[in-house]
Structure 1
Amino acid sequence: QGKPYSVRYEAVNAMLLNEFLKEHSKVEQQEATIAQLKKQVDALTKGLQKVSDQLDLSKPAPQTVMVNH
C-alpha cells in the first residue's frame, strides 16, 4: 500500500536469541540421537562378529585329496 514497514529493533535481538536457542536445542537432541545410534551400531557389530566367529568355528576344515596317476 506504499506504507513503509517499521521494525521494532528492540525486539530483533530477542527474536534472534529465541531462534538461536531453538536451533541449539535441536542440535543437542541430534547429537544425543547420534551418540545413541553409534552405541547401537557398535552393539550390532559386536553381535554380528560373534555370529560370524561361531560360523567359522562350525565349518568343517577343508580336506585335500591327493590323486596319484
Structure 2
Amino acid sequence: MLLNEFLKEHRRVPEQAATTIKLGSTVAKQNEMIAKQQKQIEALTATVQKASDQIVLSKPAPQLVANP
C-alpha cells in the first residue's frame, strides 16, 4: 500500500514540473503585455495632456466690462 502511494506521488512530480513551466511562461507573457500596455497608457496620457494644454491656450482671456 505504501509503495503504491509512493509510486503515485512519484508520477505526479513530472506533471507538476510541466505545470510550473507553463505557469512561468504564462507569467512572462503577461508581464510583457503589462509593459506594452503601460507604454500605451503613458503615450495616451501624454496625448490627452497635450490636447488639454491646447484647449486651455486657445480659450480667450476673460474681458472685463466697466459698468457706467
More helix by share: 2
Q: State the TM-score, normalized to the length of structure 2.
A: 0.81
Unmatched runs of 5 consecutive residues or more in structure 2:
1-6
Q: Which residue of 2 aligns with 1:11?
A: 11
Where 2:38 maps in the other structure, the secondary structure is helix
Q: List gaps (5 residues or longer) in structure 1.
A: 1-6
TM-score by length of 1: 0.80
Number of residue equivalences: 64
Which stretches of structure 1, 4 residues or longer, exceed 6 Å deviation after superposition?
A: none
Residue by residue over 1:23-51, the C-alpha shift from the partner in whole angstroms, topping out at 9 and shown as x without a partner, is 11111111110010000000000011111
Distance 1:49 1:9 in 2: 58
